[in-house]
Chain A
Amino acid sequence: MSSDRSLVQIAFYAALIAALGLVPRIELGLAGGIPITAQSLGVMLAGMMLGPVRGGLAVALLLFLVALGLPFLAGGRGGIGVFYGATAGYLAGYFVGAIVVGAIMKAMRNMNVVFGAVVSGVIGGIVVVHALGVPVLAYKAGMTMEKAIMVGSLPFLPGDLIKVALAAVVAHTIARGLPSAMLSRN
């Protein structure tokens, strides 16, 4: 039973990350209408809900499907091509990021959910993703690191911080309404 459940949950979060990339952008009134694609929100949620192992597997499964040619990345991108593009590092960042988010969430399972979600989201969902994404962007696009940070990191930080806040809200709701679904804390 439990292994069927894990399988379905991993597949589900992979689908959630894909669906969040396909959902029309959520305009945030409170942040001056910054349009954000919610894909990395899904990555954070996978780590927060499933913990490091299953969260990482969910992202790996999604990336596998993308490599097989399904248009599951934000904006309907897919195919092996994306792994040769300039943003390939961010995809690796999603994978490692989900693992880190899950590990931190697990380590902080006795603390407040919102606090744990914010800490894990900022470290795993932002720092790790950018730390892997920016150097690859710099290399692939032939830029210096400073330039790559200017183009590939800073413009996304406000949106990423909002996503961490949203992930924390969702984590809080689920921890209250459906605590059994917070596998990282059980």
Chain B
Amino acid sequence: MISLYMAGNSWAHKLPARVKLIFLFVLSLLIIPFNTLWFSAALLVFVVALYATLGRQGLEKVKVVRPLLWMMGIIFLVHVFLGDIEQGIIAVLRLLAMVLLANFISITTHMEALMDAVEPLFRPLRVFGMSPRRISLAVALVIRFVPVLLAVYASLQEAYKARTAHANSWRLLAPFALHAIKMTDHVAEALTARGGADGFDRDKK
């Protein structure tokens, strides 16, 4: 699977993930009272400038907001109908700025670094018997499962196409679920056979 991460060696890549996350969190709280057009525009310019410091390749990453544009359009139109164009522009500018700023972290921080940065948040879960190790395993499993599931669905789709000439149908969902659940049973068995989610802990045995 393609992560949003962009390999590189810029100043933003070198900054610790925790610093970036805290900066995002603090900034998101700080901007709340400043609800003017100029401030929102300046914020967006500032965020786009951050992308620009990564070079042309970085600036191109601004495109990640494209899937959000239709929603921004609707939000803007609603404000136009309410007769407050300025509020509409402010709302869209701020959303764009904050989404881009947050994505800036995803683009400049490797997934593992991000996981290490949030790991302390999971420590309280130890009380419920969830080790950070199990969480990493679950994360790895999801990333591996997604393409497998898509392949299972594609093969069902192909068979369906051969039978009916239609490419897709809701009828495929139930067999898809059955197939996929059977698969998880095998994975669970294989995991147990290899020593379980916690592995063979040499310190314990």
Contact = CB atoms under 8 A, between A and B. Distances in A.
B178 A174 contact: yes
Nearest to A70: B3
Given A141-B78, A142-B79, A8 B115 contact: no
Interface size grouping (class) on chain A: 35 or more
Query: Most chain-B Cβ atoms within 10 A of its Cβ — which of A26, A77, A144?
Result: A77
A83 B102 contact: yes
B85 interface: no
Q: For chain B, what secondary structure do more than half of its interface residues adopt (helix, strand, loop), or is it mixed?
A: helix
A127 interface: no
Interface residues of B, number: 70
B157 to A, nearest CB: 9
B158 to A, nearest CB: 14
Contact of B98 (A3, A84, A174): A84
B103 A79 contact: yes
Contacts of B129: 3
Given A5-B188, A178-B178, 15 more contacts: A7-B141, A10-B138, A12-B141, A16-B180, A19-B146, A68-B139, A69-B5, A71-B1, A76-B67, A79-B102, A79-B103, A84-B95, A142-B87, A147-B82, A151-B74
Interface of B: 1-5, 21, 24, 28, 64-65, 67-68, 71, 74-75, 78-79, 82, 87-88, 90-91, 95, 98-103, 105-107, 109, 111, 114-115, 129, 134, 137-139, 141-143, 145-146, 148-150, 153, 168-170, 173-175, 177-178, 180-185, 187-188, 191-192, 196-197
Interface of A: 1, 3-5, 7-12, 14-16, 18-19, 22-24, 26-28, 41, 45, 49, 61-62, 64-65, 68-72, 75-87, 140-144, 147, 151, 166, 169-170, 172-174, 177-178, 181
